[in-house]
Chains A and B, each alone.
Chain A
């Protein structure tokens, strides 16, 4: 089966700014592609071109075999778009928004009403359906926005930073909705600056930065490319750390032992060799150097992102771990 989205060498400049400097990728039908990159990387520009809102300066893009530049109306009847900022009418109720789009797509009033009721039910908005969207919470707004983009049962869905600014509970909810849609056969192109989001949802990830694709693959492939596992050992004092580092010099390890003195941590590259990790711990114990803590560290997408782009990711891993359990608002939006 040919890919449902094909993007070839897209270029777009806004004045002096080169938003896209030759982006190419493909998306297989029924999969989720995560377009990952920092703010200003060009993610939204790609989505706007694919959604026929913007014309590329160069290059081609096709959705379901239709060129977005020459057959925009065909593309529009296949796609759904949920933007970073909820593009629903705040003055209309949730139901009115859904019915308006249904009617615009050519449904009769009755069909549009049924479809609206069905979607409100599915997105747990039945009670809120008669209220103006302006009164909705952020999560409800994002849900109604997604519902509006699904009125015409699109086979390709663009989610442009769908969870930016959402509280953790709404975020998880949106993730599960996305998974359901994919299970129903919808192809999803997701842009995000959250690494865990790409990790959770995307079958394949395209990392873009400064308008260029800099890496592509599954989350696991990306992690592997950034480097293998390492043994991380924490000590109580700098002296103990130095002593342990000397002990480890007698061992043959895959690469240089990395001392992170500020955190009193030694990082020992061990790749797949868990026996080596066990031996390192045992040698240090034999030398009677107390160990505070140790664990095997697999590179996270944060490490991948940092290695690839040189930027700090949108939010560091500890921040994200926190935000999953607490109601801390997404502190890491601005990067």
Chain B
């Protein structure tokens, strides 16, 4: 076909990689785009950085005195709170994925990407790569504020890194869920609500802010099996370098790993499928 020959001759400077290399190539560029946007979106910066700082200070000084009494002797509220609030902040932070994708859809940017000969999943993987970097920044800010209010990595830096890695992995898995929500609702305002409201019960009915045994029995069933509780408990163990009484590292880490893999394995293919259809 003569037409195709002309086209390739006109574009000697463009060499697109193929297969997995193409996904990686395109994802990196999309991730760059989303990261460049970040400091230029003041609302998101405030939401991302100021809110966790406020939560730490409020909970430590307003509720800390009361809740601290329910903790095992020797545990300070700061030591209890920071790992929990890290999960909570990161889970809340994933709602930006839904909002960002809905915004791209609304503004026609997804149409632009879809009209280019690029990998179909890169717009999602690139965004979630950028989101993971953003969530890592959030976790770092939290640790700094934590150190101010008395939190310490009692198990050493290695456990500290594991703590951040685990929190961000769980966050990335949740981003895939949020990607589905963002593409399902298609507009920013709905995404802000739909990507947010259910996070309150998810994060509050857990061991994030208070020990689960202080809740009514029927609520404890949900709270104990809530992945947020499992992640918060694992982060606490990483922060002090030792497992909860009666548990092992495997019994604590395996369920979290399964949740992360399970959520991603279900939500990611669904999101890619949805992307092809929007």
Contact = CB atoms under 8 A, between A and B. Distances in A.
Question: Do these two chains really belong together in a complex?
Answer: yes
Interface of A: 4, 48, 51-53, 64-66, 73-74, 76-81, 83, 85-92, 96, 100-101, 103-108, 111, 115, 132, 148, 152-153, 155
B108 A76 contact: no
Nearest to A72: B117
A92 B17 CA distance: 25
Contacts, number: 96
A103 B36 CA distance: 15
A200 B83 CA distance: 66
A91 B39 CA distance: 10
Interface in B92-150: 107-109, 111-118
Contacts of A103: 29
B108 A155 contact: no
A107 B118 CA distance: 13
B46 interface: no
A96 B34 CA distance: 12
Contact of A81 (B4, B13, B111): B111
Given A77-B117, A91-B37, A105 B112 contact: no
A27 to B, nearest CB: 13
A91 B3 contact: no
A30 B3 CA distance: 12
Interface of B: 1, 3-4, 6-7, 10-11, 13-17, 25-26, 29, 32-33, 36-37, 40-41, 107-109, 111-118
Given A53-B111, A104-B116, A153 B36 contact: no
A81 B4 CA distance: 19
Nearest to B26: A104
Nearest to B38: A91
25 contacts: A4-B3, A53-B111, A53-B114, A65-B3, A77-B7, A77-B11, A77-B117, A83-B108, A85-B108, A86-B108, A87-B107, A87-B109, A88-B109, A89-B33, A90-B107, A96-B33, A101-B112, A101-B116, A104-B118, A105-B117, A106-B15, A106-B17, A107-B13, A132-B40, A155-B3
Contacts of B7: 64, 77-78, 155
A92 B111 contact: no
Nearest to B123: A104
Contact of A111 (B13, B16, B40, B41): B13
Nearest to A132: B40
Given A104-B26, A104-B29, A106-B17, A73 B111 contact: no
A65 B4 contact: yes
A146 B149 CA distance: 53
A83 B110 CA distance: 12
A91 B107 contact: no
Given A77-B11, A91-B36, A111-B14, 18 more contacts: A48-B111, A65-B3, A76-B116, A76-B117, A79-B115, A87-B108, A87-B111, A89-B33, A89-B109, A91-B41, A104-B116, A104-B118, A105-B118, A106-B14, A106-B17, A107-B13, A108-B13, A111-B13
